[in-house]
Amino acid sequence: MSPDQGAAGSAVDILCLANSRKRSGRCVAGLRVDGGGWLRPVSGSDPTGALTIKACRLDDGTQATLLDVIRLTVLRPLPEPHQPENWLVATRRWNLVERCDIAAATPLLESALTSGPDLFGSLGDRIPYRELRDRPSAASLAVIEPQAVTWRISTSFRGNRQTRARITLSGALYDLSVTDPVFEKHLAALPAGVHTREAAGITAHLRVLLTVSLSEPFGATADCYKLVAAVIVLP
């Protein structure tokens, strides 16, 4: 099933692995259940491709959430140097196919794991857009299982509360901003500072997987930041 089948578009089912903050809107991404890899639906009405919260609402009235299998209609690919997985999405309502349980979703998640240590070809927390313009990234979405993770509550340069994940991935250390609104709310009571994974209610016997996404160019230097778009906890 090819998503590009003319102006009418084509229905594609994805396992939702992110519904994260993106400036004034949302960024949704997931793995195609037919094995076709990552897909990030983007809007044609926003210069950054951000989706409105309304656009992410399913036919049952709920928001697309982690591990939902959702059916959406895509029109054509819209790859960018920093986000090759982008597809223009039709404005029609998304359908909830099923709320997938963790056991059923785990094989697809494990098949997509990125071992690191690099993420999107580098070891830093950002990639200058000028570099990506000259040499487009092969990927901007990944699922990782860090060997260690702690949470850091800090203040952004705008003075806003910021939740960050400090992770170790195959020996590489990362400190990445968390844009998963559900998980941010889950950690809202934590004070500024560094906290263990257990402070988020994630005990030692549970697995922590993270969906990592590459952002739009940001700031005076137009850097694309690596963001934790979703926190997924598995037994």
Q: Indicate whether 24 and 97 sit together in one domain.
A: yes
Average pLDDT of 17-40?
94
Q: Indicate whether 15 and 125 sit together in one domain.
A: no
For residue 29 the two structure tokens come to: 């991404």
From 84, 101, 118, the end of a domain falls on: 101
Which contiguous run of DSSP H or E holds residue 212?
strand 207-218
Split into its structural domains, the chain has a count of 2
Residue 32, pLDDT score = 97
Q: Indicate whether 172 and 210 sit together in one domain.
A: yes
2, pLDDT greater than 50: no
Residue 221, pLDDT score = 84
| pLDDT tens by residue, 41-98 | 999 988 889 999 999 999 999 999 999 999 999 999 999 999 999 999 999 999 999 9
Residue 121 CB contacts under 8 Å (≥ 6 apart), including other chains: 127, 137, 138
Residue 7, pLDDT score = 54
Q: Indicate whether 172 and 68 sit together in one domain.
A: no
- Would residue 4 count as lying in a domain? no
- Would residue 169 count as lying in a domain? yes
pTM (2 d.p.): 0.93
Q: Indicate whether 118 and 73 sit together in one domain.
A: no
3, pLDDT greater than 60: no
Q: Coil, strand, or helix at residue 223?
A: strand
Residue 8, pLDDT score = 72
From 101, 129, 163, the end of a domain falls on: 101
Q: Indicate whether 97 and 109 sit together in one domain.
A: no
Q: Which residues pair with 231 in a beta bridge?
A: 210
Among 28, 23, 19, 50, CA closest to 158: 23
Q: Indicate whether 64 and 126 sit together in one domain.
A: no
Q: Indicate whether 94 and 24 sit together in one domain.
A: yes
Q: Indicate whether 92 and 182 sit together in one domain.
A: no
Domain of 196, CATH number, reads: 2.40.50
Q: Indicate whether 19 and 113 sit together in one domain.
A: no
Give the integer Cα–Cα distance in Å for 10 and 208: 33
Residue 1, pLDDT score = 39
Q: Indicate whether 181 and 111 sit together in one domain.
A: yes
Residue 77, pLDDT score = 97
| pLDDT tens by residue, 161-179 | 999 999 999 999 999 999 9
Give the integer Cα–Cα distance in Å for 162 and 157: 10
Range of the domain at 74: 10-101
Average pLDDT of 118-125?
97
Average pLDDT of 18-45?
94
Q: Indicate whether 110 and 95 sit together in one domain.
A: no
- Would residue 2 count as lying in a domain? no
